[in-house]
Amino acid sequence: MKWVLALVIAAVTALLLAGGWIQSGGMKLHAERAAGTPEEAVRALMADIQAHDWAHGYARLERSNHLQEADFVREVGGSDGSLRTYSALQSFDIWPVHADSEHATLRVRMNWSSAIGSLDEVRDLQVAREGNTWKVVWPKPNFPDVPLQVLPVNYLRWDVIGRRSDDWGSASVDTPRVRIISMNAVERPDSVVIVGEVENEDTVPAYVNISAALLKPDGSPLSQQDSFDAIAHRLLPKQVSPYRIDFPGARLNQVKSVRIDAHPLLIPASADPVISVESQNVAKDPLGRTTLKGALVNQSGQTVNIAQVLAVFYDSAGKPIWVSDGYVEDALLPQAPVPFAVDIPGDVAGRMHDYHVVVNHYIAPTT
Amino acid sequence: MNRKTLSFGVLLTALSTYLWAQEPVLNAPGTVSAGQSVKLAAQGHGSATFYLVGPNRVVKRKISLGEEIEIAAEDLKIAGKYQAIACNGGNCGNTQFNVVASQPAQLIFFLHPSRVPVSSGNAVNATALVLDREKNMVLSPAKVNFKIDLPDGSSSTRTVPATRGIASFAMDSRSRQGKVQVTASIDDVSEPRVIQQVAAEACGLRMTASPAGRFVTFQTDPIRDCGGNPLPDGTIVSFTKTDSTGRSTVDSPIKKDRAVARFEVSGSAKVSVACGVVVGNELSLGGAQ
């Protein structure tokens, strides 16, 4: 009787494990890992990336280009505290671009969930036949190779010192003087968007946020929002940042006026790092979207973990008509260019006459 | 009990009842200095309950009518209207008196803003509030002296009469940047404040180019405002280069009065410089300059 009970428990456990495996997509994963077609090869690789199974993913690659596993992991999994290190592949779509009996090209749209939200990446992957299986030809990444050197960094830093007194009328320091130098309300298909620029007119650094309220004809607020992350919050003296405030679901014909406020705070800051934005060009991406592309170069000696690009686009009268922003997934290593691209809506691209790009950055505290 | 004794008893009872039924009378001086004790005259007979109702406190205690009531300085700290009430049974008498601020003993001084661009008209506001030692605003006429010490070592004094306890004036910022100390004083009380006069917008922003191989270094001349004051280090200067590879920009902070940017230039290129909303010169490279 004892043996029967033990057998029943073991059988039930095995059944439950099998059910769990099927439920968690094990069958699908197994099917994806069998690369009988180019699409299956790419799908299997994406499944490995999703599962952070780097070794298995690397084993699926065609390695005639001498790609090292460490380089593959560094590119896909991120390094140096970059945004990619805080990301996971959420989903992907694959569609063929070209195929013959030995080679194929597939386009993959990868959707990454990251610390700052959802990020899309589109890549064309080459797939080659090896016997009965297909293998992805992962291009060998070109990581920057900056020669060993000493880079003196002696930029200014502002500290805020002293006790903050609560006594009324005691000596105090004013908040930085900032000015909204332009503002434009734009109607989009699903929202109203306020775009413009703000300047720190002061001689001290400022942390700036912009809030806006759409007002109805009777003066009551229709909606209130702030610039959230579509602004370079930290503004050094005389620095100008674009800002964008989205009002989802609002229509311009509901709005009589807009009330907009800048909220500056005095903060300690450093003028380092200086990040240049090079080779800026407006071009079409593989999906036919208009994008502003370029490269960021960290001119400092310190690694910038996460960089965000903000671009303001002007019409022929110099009025801001749109602000795009995009995060760069790779860390900015000193002196090494890192490409970036931000989308430009089709209607904006047609009316755009000029643009200006600024870079926002985040450096993880050293422990 | 004979008739005489009875009549005397009735008279005594009537007199006592009359005296008992009379409301107490309080006399107070018209004005009292804040933070000083005062004595009120209380007419009447017997004991009573005394109330003092002030702007920020109420005092209640037993008193004997016909004696002076001493109100402690502690109970008269706040300037304003006070009401003294004495109740004897159902009969109450009251009086009012004002407590006014005593001699100026403190200044609350606002000097605004803490940073002001040079040569700005009426940009600095100095406001002093005259208070006594109990922090009551001194409403009686008083004159506040403001001593202004400038960065070049010179100083000047301005006397401003306080109106209802407030002395205020506005002044232009001077043409030289640096610290300005303003000291407000009255009698032997003084309160210093320091503000910073800072450079205004850049003026005559200009850069030069120094080619070195395929790179060109762009350096501004010392960046100053129209009064010759150097813009502070850390101020952002934007360089923009446009050539066949596209546009490149760099926001470079001023270091030792100058800002520097280095670009790789291929073919002809145009480079412009700006500081905030001030645009500087434009250089054309690889073609006519």
Q: What is the mean pLDDT of residues A139-152?
A: 84
Residue A150 counted as domain residue: no
Q: What is the mean pLDDT of residues A284-291?
A: 85
Residue A8 counted as domain residue: no
Contact flag B198-A203 (C-beta cutoff 8 Å): yes
Q: What is the mean pLDDT of residues A198-225?
A: 94
Model pLDDT, residue B12? 57
Q: Does residue A316 contact residue A274 with C-beta atoms inside 8 Å? A: no
Residue A63 counted as domain residue: yes
Residue A214 counted as domain residue: yes
Minimum-distance CB partner of A294 among B193, B238, B246: B246
| Average pLDDT value over all residues in chain B | 89
Q: Does residue A118 contact residue A125 with C-beta atoms inside 8 Å? A: no
Fold observed for domain B202-285: Immunoglobulin-like (2.60.40)
Least trusted range by pLDDT, from A21-30, A168-177, A245-254, B148-157: A21-30
Q: Does residue A246 contact residue A193 with C-beta atoms inside 8 Å? A: yes
Residue A340 counted as domain residue: yes
Model pLDDT, residue A165? 66
Residue A76's CB: how many other CB atoms inside 10 A?
19
Q: What is the mean pLDDT of residues B177-181?
A: 92
> How many residues in total does chain B contain?
289
Model pLDDT, residue B100? 94
Domain with CATH 2.60.40.1930 in chain B: 106-198
Model pLDDT, residue B288? 42
Asked if the model's pLDDT at residue A162 lies above 70, the reply is yes
| Average pLDDT value over all residues in chain A | 89
How many angstroms separate the CA atoms of B115 and B111, rounded? 10
Model pLDDT, residue B24? 84
Model pLDDT, residue A194? 97
Asked if the model's pLDDT at residue A202 lies above 60, the reply is yes
pLDDT-derived band at B96, boundaries 50, 70, 90: very high
Minimum-distance CB partner of B234 among A156, A168, A279: A156
- Residues B98-128: pLDDT tens digits? 999 999 999 999 999 999 999 999 999 999 9
Asked if the model's pLDDT at residue B20 lies above 70, the reply is no
Are A309 and A243 found together in one domain?
no
- Residues B22-61: pLDDT tens digits? 678 888 888 899 999 999 998 888 889 999 999 988 999 9
pLDDT-derived band at A132, boundaries 50, 70, 90: confident
Q: What is the mean pLDDT of residues A143-163?
A: 82
Are A253 and A300 found together in one domain?
no
Closest CA to B203 of B183, B224, B230: B224
The residues pairing with B128 across neighbouring beta strands, listed in sequence order, are B109, B167
* A109-113, B88-92, B266-270: which is most confident: A109-113
Least trusted range by pLDDT, from A179-188, B23-32, B116-125, B139-148: B23-32
- From chain B, pick out residues whose CB is under 8 angstroms from the CB of A358: 251
Are A117 and A183 found together in one domain?
no
Q: Which CATH class is domain B106-198?
A: mainly beta
Residue A9 counted as domain residue: no
Are A132 and A69 found together in one domain?
yes
Pair of tokens at residue A265: 């705070």
Are A279 and A248 found together in one domain?
no
- From chain B, pick out residues whose CB is under 8 angstroms from the CB of A154: 255
Range of the domain at A86: 24-137
Q: Give the B-side interface with A, CB within 8 Å.
A: 108-110, 112-115, 129, 193-194, 196, 198-199, 202, 231-238, 245-253, 255, 261, 263-264, 275-277
Q: Does residue B66 contact residue B42 with C-beta atoms inside 8 Å? A: yes
Cis peptide before B211 (omega within 30 of 0): no
Count Cα atoms within 13 angstroms, Cβ side, for B118: 22
Residue A146's CB: how many other CB atoms inside 10 A?
11
Least trusted range by pLDDT, from A142-156, A257-271, B23-37: A142-156
Contact flag A169-B246 (C-beta cutoff 8 Å): no
How many angstroms separate the CA atoms of B23 and B89, rounded? 9
State how far Cα A86 lies from the chain centre: 11
Model pLDDT, residue B265? 84
Q: Does residue B258 contact residue B220 with C-beta atoms inside 8 Å? A: yes
Query: Radius of gyration of chain B from Cα atoms?
Result: 38
Residue A61 counted as domain residue: yes
How many angstroms separate the CA atoms of A330 and A320, rounded? 29
Whether pTM > 0.80 for this model: the answer is no
pLDDT-derived band at B212, boundaries 50, 70, 90: confident
- From chain B, pick out residues whose CB is under 8 angstroms from the CB of A173: 114-115
Total number of domains in chain A: 3
Least trusted range by pLDDT, from A29-43, B260-274, B275-289: A29-43
Minimum-distance CB partner of A276 among B115, B129, B249: B249
Pair of tokens at residue B267: 């073919």
Asked if the model's pLDDT at residue A3 lies above 80, the reply is no
Model pLDDT, residue A275? 94
Contact flag A155-B253 (C-beta cutoff 8 Å): yes
Interface test with A, best of B197, B217, B248 (most A CBs within 10 A): B248
Least trusted range by pLDDT, from A244-248, B23-27, B68-72: B23-27
Model pLDDT, residue B289? 41
Model pLDDT, residue B287? 52
- The CATH number covering residue A247 comes to 2.60.40.10
Are A257 and A279 found together in one domain?
no
Are A236 and A254 found together in one domain?
yes
- From chain B, pick out residues whose CB is under 8 angstroms from the CB of A278: 245-246, 248, 263-264
Pair of tokens at residue A277: 């934005």
Are A186 and A133 found together in one domain?
no
Chain A to chain B Cβ contacts (< 8 Å): 103
Asked if the model's pLDDT at residue A148 lies above 60, the reply is yes
Are A113 and A177 found together in one domain?
no
Does A154 or B256 have the greater pLDDT score?
Answer: B256
- Residues A8-56: pLDDT tens digits? 888 888 888 777 766 666 555 555 556 789 999 999 999 999 999 999 9
- The CATH number covering residue A113 comes to 3.10.450.100
> Domain boundary residue among A240, A270, A300?
A270
Q: Which CATH number is B3-100 given? A: 2.60.40.10
pLDDT-derived band at B267, boundaries 50, 70, 90: confident
Model pLDDT, residue A268? 93
> How many residues in total does chain A contain?
367
Asked if the model's pLDDT at residue A182 lies above 80, the reply is yes
B238-B242-B243-B246 Cα dihedral, nearest 10 degrees? 100
Least trusted range by pLDDT, from A153-157, A345-349, B164-168: A153-157
Asked if the model's pLDDT at residue A256 lies above 70, the reply is yes
Q: Does residue B101 contact residue B137 with C-beta atoms inside 8 Å? A: yes
